Amino acid sequence: MTDNHEPNHDILLKMRDIRIDGFSDEQWHPIIKGVDLTLRRGEIMGLIGESGAGKSTLGKAAMGYTQPGCKLTGGSILFDGIDLAKASDREKRRLWGTRIAYVAQSAAASFNPAHRLIDQTVEAANRRGIRPDADSRTDAVELFRALQLPNPETIGSRYPHQVSGGQLQRVMTAMAMSPRPDLIIFDEPTTALDVTTQVEVLSAMRNIVEEFNTAAIYITHDLAVVAQMADFIKVLRYGEEVEQAPTRKMLTQPEEAYTKSLWSVRALEKPEVKGEDIVLSINHVDAAYGPVKVLHDVNISIPRGRTVAVVGESGSGKSTTARVITGLLPPSAGEVVFNGEPLPAALKDRSKDQLQKIQMIYQMADTAMNPRQTVEEIIGRPLEFYLGLTGKAREARVIKLLEMIELDDSFMDRLPSELSGGQKQRICIARALAANPEVIICDEVTSALDQIVQEGILQLLLRLQKQYNITYLFITHDIATVKAISDEIVVMLQGKVVEQGLKSEILAPPFPDYTELLLSSVPEMDPDWLTNLLADRNT
């Protein structure tokens, strides 16, 4: 351990050999397998790892709390000399909300719908009588102001459902800060937010933590985000520590192979190729969900054998565009032209041949495959349905498809639950390929995957494109993915196309305002990015 020689007087939190088990499948499994963690006063630690790495569990354990269904089986948690692993509930309650505070991922669900925001903000401070109620309320307003919330004097009298997600997340930070805790646990606080909102929330949180010199553990899976927040970073994987280092050192000289793999992903970039032969075009499309109009005069042309990336934030209409193309949502005006012929607007009016030529891959491979069907049934169905293959011929083709996606015939009998996340997405790709499509719509296909797996999927998609001249419409909010895979880019905002063009044109200045905002809001792997960005925006 590197910190053995340091003086102990400013150590706030010292966790040793933490072991936590979780209950699933009728038995206890280790989730955290002996992790150490040391945090000094005023320090911010970034805790990163992929889903299932145990980072959230470890973060909560720093408070001496384990979720229902989990139990602490070993180790000590010394917070300012008190061992939370052995402390009674009553002792822990005295610390929680006053000296240790927690900021949860979903602000909307974590506020009590029945109480005003200000009452919830001052609740913990008042309970322990830190200061008179009136002072707490004045202080809360000051915190709201410091966190750049609109109308800081009055926002507290609102109820949780009356303010937006980004604002709620900042109110929760104020709630955590109100009793001036020594330690705040931030548990993926910006994951549910759009990138442009994320920037505001991140800067507000960073400022306030710095102002009060509060120690913090910042949990996230986003390396670029943690680089802005943390003094040092701890990487977790499968419940074990991989590596820990100061932020700058971690970014420039990672030691472990796994950590390097996390960093290297962003290197992939496909050289763009201009395409002339338009395979699919969307002409003047308007679409609405009931009375709510969500697409306004959308025009997109997709050249054969190329990748067009559609980027935008949630609510920009990018997924709706996909629904219009597939016929799930018939447009209220305009048309979709495929190979020079207009497609019938509604799914049920399209011919089997038309359906076959446009396939779709989903974001969540988990929900895109029937959990009760085997891989062979999943891939085999389009073969049977479109191509009429049965028996041996079908089996042979399934094996061939499995090879195309770099898997083998040992996967034939598996159920989706017996596959890893990346394998699931590969099976979904194989299912789309089985139809011999000309166009594949990829809806955020990599955003639910771990970084290293993302890279594998993207490379596979590129290789398949080259081999079979497949056209991709790639919907994503992740600029790194766009860089990696696209030839052309379409930027969407509030149901309208803001910009369309070759990658090199869109990603080079000068930018229209929104593209600029969108691009600049994507966190970069540079500890100074946020500081520089805020400085830029202020001038």
Partner 1 sequence: MSEQPETYAAAAEVGAVRKRRTRLERFSLLMKSAPPSAWFGMIVVALYILVAIFADVIAPYGEAEIHPVPFAPWSDEFIFGTDQIGRDVLTRLIYGARNTMGIALATTFLSFLIGGGLGLVAAINRSWLDQGLSRFVDVLMAIPSLIFALMLLSIFGSTITSLILIIAVLDSTRVFRLTRSVAVNVAVMDYVEAARLRGEGLGWVMRREILPNIMPPLVAEFGLRFCFVFLTIAALSFLGVGIQPPTADWGSMVRANASLIQFAKYDMTAAITPLLPAAAIALLTVAVNFIVDWFLQKTSGLRE
Partner 2 sequence: MNAVLSTILKRLGLGIATLFVVSAIIFSSISMLPGDFSEAVLGQAATKETVTAFRKELGLDKPAPVRYFEWVGSVLQGDFGTSFSGRNASGQDRSRQVVDLVMPRLWNTLFLAGVTALIAVPLALFLGLTAALYRNTAYDRVVNAATLTTISTPEFFVAYILILFFASLWPVFPSLANIDASTALGERLYRVALPALTLTLVIVAHMMRMTRAAIINLLASPYIEMARLKGASRSEIILKHALPNAWAPIATVIAFNLAYLVVGVVVVEVVFVYPGIGQLMVDAVTSRDIPVVQACALIFAATYILLNLTADIIGIVTNPRLLHPR
**Which of the listed partners (partner 1, partner 2, none) does 509 bind, with a CB threshold of 5 to 8 Å by partner kind?**
none
What residues contact residue 480 under an 8 Å CB cut-off, 6+ apart?
Answer: 265, 266, 522
Q: Among 237, 394, 431, 503, which residue interacts with partner 1 (rule: CB under 8 A)?
A: 431
Based on the shown chain and the rule CB under 8 A, indicate whether residue 417 belongs to the binding site for partner 1.
yes
Nearer to partner 2, 67 or 370 (CB): 67
Residue tagged 């929104």 (tokens): 514
Nearer to partner 2, 179 or 303 (CB): 179
Shortest Cβ distance from residue 100 to partner 2 (Å)? 8
Contact residues for partner 2, defined by CB under 8 A: 60, 63, 65, 67, 93-98, 101-102, 104, 106, 109-115, 123-124, 127-128, 158-159, 161-162, 175
CA-CA distance, 537 to 539, in Å (whole number)?
6
Based on the shown chain and the rule CB under 8 A, indicate whether residue 332 belongs to the binding site for partner 1.
no
CA-CA distance, 513 to 37, in Å (whole number)?
43
Window of 2-10, 216-224, 271-279, 356-364 that interacts with partner 1 by CB under 8 A = 356-364
Q: Among 217, 229, 360, 398, which residue interacts with partner 1 (rule: CB under 8 A)?
A: 360
Tokens of 36: 């150490």
Nearer to partner 2, 92 or 496 (CB): 92
Shortest Cβ distance from residue 239 to partner 2 (Å)? 21
Shortest Cβ distance from residue 200 to partner 1 (Å)? 30
Residue tagged 């597939």 (tokens): 326
Q: Which of 232-271 are b and which e, b meaning 16 or more Cβ less than 10 Å from the residue's Cβ?
A: bbbbbbebebbbbbebeebbeebeeeebeebeebbebebe
DSSP state letters, 264-307: HGGG--PPP----SEEEEEEEEEEEETTEEEEEEEEEEEETT-E
Based on the shown chain and the rule CB under 8 A, indicate whether residue 456 belongs to the binding site for partner 1.
yes
**Which of the listed partners (partner 2, partner 1, none) does 420 bind, with a CB threshold of 5 to 8 Å by partner kind?**
partner 1
Shortest Cβ distance from residue 265 to partner 1 (Å)? 9
Shortest Cβ distance from residue 106 to partner 2 (Å)? 6
**Which of the listed partners (partner 2, partner 1, none) does 309 bind, with a CB threshold of 5 to 8 Å by partner kind?**
none
**N- to C-terminal Cα distance for the chain?**
44
Contact flags string 189-228 toward partner 1, x per CB under 8 A: ----------------------------------------
What residues contact residue 187 under an 8 Å CB cut-off, 6+ apart?
Answer: 56, 59, 60, 102, 103, 104, 105, 219
CA-CA distance, 227 to 394, in Å (whole number)?
50
**Which of the listed partners (partner 1, partner 2, none) does 372 bind, with a CB threshold of 5 to 8 Å by partner kind?**
partner 1
Shortest Cβ distance from residue 429 to partner 1 (Å)? 11
Tokens of 58: 């470890």
Residue tagged 């166009």 (tokens): 439
Based on the shown chain and the rule CB under 8 A, indicate whether residue 68 belongs to the binding site for partner 1.
yes
Spatial CA neighbour of 503 closest among 270, 224, 259, 327: 270
Nearer to partner 2, 59 or 421 (CB): 59
What residues contact residue 214 under an 8 Å CB cut-off, 6+ apart?
Answer: 42, 177, 180, 181, 182, 183, 184, 208
CA-CA distance, 437 to 445, in Å (whole number)?
17
Q: Among 299, 367, 469, 531, which residue interacts with partner 1 (rule: CB under 8 A)?
A: 367
Q: Among 108, 364, 387, 448, which residue interacts with partner 1 (rule: CB under 8 A)?
A: 364
Is 162 in contact with 114 (CB distance < 8 Å)? no
CA-CA distance, 172 to 102, in Å (whole number)?
9
Give the neighbor-by-neighbor strand order of the sheet with 333-338: 292-303, 278-289, 333-338, 341-342
Window of 9-17, 76-84, 175-183, 402-410 that interacts with partner 1 by CB under 8 A = 402-410
Shortest Cβ distance from residue 539 to partner 1 (Å)? 31
Nearer to partner 1, 1 or 292 (CB): 292
Is 485 in contact with 317 (CB distance < 8 Å)? no
CA-CA distance, 469 to 44, in Å (whole number)?
49
Window of 281-289, 325-333, 469-477, 508-516 that interacts with partner 1 by CB under 8 A = 325-333
Binding residues vs partner 1 (CB under 8 A): 23, 25-26, 52, 68-69, 257-258, 260-261, 263-264, 266-267, 326-328, 347, 350, 352, 355, 359-360, 362, 364, 367-373, 381-382, 385-386, 405-408, 410-411, 413-414, 417-424, 426, 431, 435, 452-453, 456, 460
